[in-house]
Amino acid sequence: MGRFIVNRVFSMGITLLLVITITFALMHAIPGGPFTREKALPPAVMKALEAKFNLDQPLWRQYVDYLGGVIKGDLGPSFQRTGVTVNKLIEEGFPISAKIGGLSVLLVLILGVPIGIISALKQNKWQDQLAMFLATLGVTIPSFVLGTLIIYIFSAKLGWLPSYGLKSWKHYIGPVIALGGFSLSFVARLTRSSMLEVLQQDYIRTARAKGLSEFVVVGKHALKNALIPVVTYVGPLVAAILTGSFVVEKIFAIPGMGKHFVESVGNRDYTVLMGITIFYAIFLVVMVLLVDITYGLIDPRIKMDE
Amino acid sequence: MRSERLLEVKNLRTSFFTHVGEVRAIRGVSFYLDKGEAIGIVGESGSGKSVTSMSVMKLLQYPGRIVGGEITFNGKDITNMPEKEMQSIRGNEIAMIFQDPMTSLNPVYTIGNQIMEAIRRHQGLSKRKAREKAIEILKLVGIPSPEKRVDNYPHEFSGGMRQRAMIAMALSCEPNLLIADEPTTALDVTIQAQILELMKNLKEKINTSIILITHDLGVVADVCSRILVMYGGLIMEEGKTEEIFYNPKHPYTMGLLKSIPRLDLGENKRLVPIEGSPPDLLKPPKACPFATRCPYTMKVCEEMMPPYFEAEKNHRSQCWLLHEDAPKIQVDTGVKRGSIS
């Protein structure tokens, strides 16, 4: 187990290096730069700005310098916001995104898995049909439509929920549902189909033949086997959802991280773009590692020593 | 000394209500089992053997349902017993082992955990006591170093060992009745013999009755004292093992006997198959279901279902050939007297 994690951390380092290199190369391959404007800046100003942010150096030099900074944990200054560092942007934005994201993940797990189980147990009965109807809607409605609908119905028409900001718990309801809606529906469907497959297995018949109650048969024997595909999906989901969603944050006017990410691409804010990509990549590889460790805990046939 | 009845099944009918219609898997089956007795149910795939056992366990999967008849176990009518009560019988008084030990154990729990589960459920033992008992029973079924093996997962066991573990699980609560549904089919031949030997020994040790379901007549010859031959959802012939082997009365039984591979025939002799295929139980024939495949079919066979004719005491067969007006047939199935023990 220990060796497995050491090996994985090492290969995670390589993955991150590749992510940094490729993003760096792609970023510089996009035409235009951080200081390209519709009305061209005077050459002297341009030169001064480029000198200030090291952009006058050869590309390899910039790459090495940047990498050196990343290793020290310094993601550099934002090119577009004077006096703001990328570290500061993440420090401010991430907790907000993570709070909404974390609540969404909880919603997905607390509702999605039980809905899937109940649907499987009540296969083709009205409970199942209702749940799967809603879940199909959930996976087909994009988050911006869902978010807009929530604001239109619950904020504008009924006045139950506030429409922007994060001042009270009520402010969280809309964004959490809009952010988690798709995954909730997806997890419910995934759990259902996985559960249905497991319930057909011979060992479920064995468990019933032992005289175990249906609760134990489902909760102990079926569930643990049925959760493996769900864990596979939820791991990367956590990384994606916690690092913020541009769309949902935009609709509900939430100052999270998602906004910075998308804007940095548009205005060529090189350091912000790189910084958030690296942050997300680290998050993702850690989650994938956690998923693999969880596999080992659920299914003893998966060995982690090799 | 008259032996005590353990199980009595009367006119059992079980159907599966599929979207194309009612599949009548069992169409009126009656048999009994005494305490300490072992009987065999033989027949080809789809004859209703497994459905009979699942009906007795009351473990029929949707859309299967018992539509008629009566099952009496230990003097209690369990036909309409509520599921909660049935659960305290399953695994405790009636236990079951299945065909494929590779898939019948839950891969994510240890062997010990799965054995202890039944013990704790029915005997309310503490975790430590249940574990001791699990080790004891693993030893009984011949698992080497059981105190270590108890913490293994199923994938760390071989096929034969898994079937031993299944038997251990089934016998852990010392059931009155053990239903073994093709317990050796998925195992290779040397392991088959070991498993049968084990079942025979354990039957003596804990005095359990056995219903052995198989399509392999060689398997029942060894273990069972009586045999039921099933075909098309009906019991075609029933009798003592020797009677069925040496003096079969139903052409289907004769066909089965002729199709057993035998050592004494030499290499060049072909096995004799039963031509044709079993009836479609979605539209079961009104008359004898075997009539279309039977070499001795008479006119009456295609028109009316024969009643049971008593050939000898405790040997009955559902065939018109036993009627006093029917032509007498002489059949050599090739099974020599004294060839089964």
Domain ranges of chain A: 95-298
Length of chain B counted residue by residue: 341
The whole domain housing B143 covers 5-224
Which of A128, A199, A202, A210 has the most B C-beta neighbours within 10 Å, making it the best mutation to test the interface with B? A210
- The packing angle between helices A169-199 and A126-140, to 10°, is 120
Q: Do A210 and B57 touch (CB under 8 A)?
A: no
Q: Do B107 and A213 touch (CB under 8 A)?
A: no
- B74 in contact with A at a CB cutoff of 8 Å? no
Nearest to B198 by CA among B222, B214, B173, B227: B222
A116-148 core/surface letters (b: 16 or more CB in 10 A; e: else): bbbbbbeeeeeebeebbeebeebbebebeebbe
Q: Which candidate from A211, A213, A224 shows the least CB-CB separation from B108? A: A224
Nearest to B11 by CA among B68, B72, B73, B82: B68
The total of structural domains in chain B comes to: 1
Q: What is the pLDDT of residues A243-278, one digit of tens each?
A: 878 888 888 888 888 888 888 888 888 888 889 899
3-state secondary structure of B26: strand
* 3-state helix, strand and coil shares in percent for chain B, rounded to the nearest 5: 35, 25, 45
User: Count of A–B CB contacts within 8 Å?
Assistant: 74
A227 to chain B: nearest residue by CA? B108
**What CATH number has the domain bearing residue B148?**
3.40.50.300
Decide: pTM greater than 0.80. yes
Q: What does the alpha-carbon distance between residue B82 and residue B314 come to, in Å, rounded to a whole number? A: 34
Q: Do A207 and B106 touch (CB under 8 A)?
A: yes
Q: Which candidate from B57, B90, B105 shows the least CB-CB separation from A203? A: B105
- A207 in contact with B at a CB cutoff of 8 Å? yes
What's the sign of the alpha-carbon dihedral A153, A156, A157, A158?
Answer: positive
Contacts of A169 (CB under 8 A, 6+ apart): none
Q: What does the alpha-carbon distance between residue B49 and residue B230 come to, in Å, rounded to a whole number? A: 7
Nearest to A227 by CA among A178, A191, A264, A192: A191
- B258 — pLDDT class (breaks 50, 70, 90): confident
Q: What does the alpha-carbon distance between residue B171 and residue B179 come to, in Å, rounded to a whole number? A: 11
- The packing angle between helices A270-298 and A223-242, to 10°, is 170
Give the strand pairing for B234-240 and B64-73.
Answer: unpaired
A296 to chain B: nearest residue by CA? B108
Which residues of chain A fall short of a pLDDT of 50? none
A228 to chain B: nearest residue by CA? B108
B77 domain-assigned: yes
Q: Which candidate from A210, A225, A300 shows the least CB-CB separation from B91? A: A210
- B1 — pLDDT class (breaks 50, 70, 90): very low
B315 domain-assigned: no
User: What is the average per-residue pLDDT within B180-193?
Assistant: 86
Q: What is the dihedral of CA A44, A46, A49, A54, to 10 degrees?
A: -110
Q: Do A299 and B87 touch (CB under 8 A)?
A: no
- B130 in contact with A at a CB cutoff of 8 Å? no
Q: What does the alpha-carbon distance between residue B248 and residue B241 come to, in Å, rounded to a whole number? A: 10
Residue B15 CA, distance from chain mean position: 19
Rounded (5°) CA angle B318-B323-B326: 120
Task: Identify the pLDDT of residue A16.
Answer: 92
B124 domain-assigned: yes
Contacts of B284 (CB under 8 A, 6+ apart): B24, B27, B232, B233
CATH assignment of A95-298, among 1.10.3720.10, 3.40.50.1820, 3.40.190.10, 2.60.120.620: 1.10.3720.10
Q: What does pLDDT average to over chain B? A: 89
Residues of A in contact with B103 (CB under 8 A): 201-203
- A303 in contact with B at a CB cutoff of 8 Å? no
**Higher-confidence residue: B331 or B90?**
B90
3-state secondary structure of A303: coil
Q: What does the alpha-carbon distance between residue A91 and residue A276 come to, in Å, rounded to a whole number? A: 11
B146 domain-assigned: yes
Residues of B in contact with A212 (CB under 8 A): 87, 91, 117-118, 121
Q: What is the pLDDT of residues B9-33, one digit of tens each?
A: 999 999 999 999 999 999 999 999 9
Q: What does the alpha-carbon distance between residue A146 and residue A290 come to, in Å, rounded to a whole number? A: 31
**Residue A37 per-residue DSSP state:** -
Contacts of A100 (CB under 8 A, 6+ apart): A166, A172, A175, A176, A179, A248, A254, A256
Q: Do B106 and A206 touch (CB under 8 A)?
A: yes
Percent with pLDDT over 90 in chain B: 58
Q: What does the alpha-carbon distance between residue B132 and residue A99 come to, in Å, rounded to a whole number? A: 49
Q: What does the alpha-carbon distance between residue A28 and residue B127 come to, in Å, rounded to a whole number? A: 64
Do A264 and A252 touch, CB atoms closer than 8 A?
Answer: no
B270 domain-assigned: no
B58 to chain A: nearest residue by CA? A209
B155 to chain A: nearest residue by CA? A301
What one-letter code names the amino acid at B326?
A
Q: Do B108 and A300 touch (CB under 8 A)?
A: yes
Query: What is this model's ipTM?
Result: 0.88
Q: What does the alpha-carbon distance between residue B135 and residue B130 come to, in Å, rounded to a whole number? A: 9
Q: Do A211 and B92 touch (CB under 8 A)?
A: yes
Q: What is the pLDDT of residues A212-239, one digit of tens each?
A: 999 999 999 999 999 999 999 998 898 8
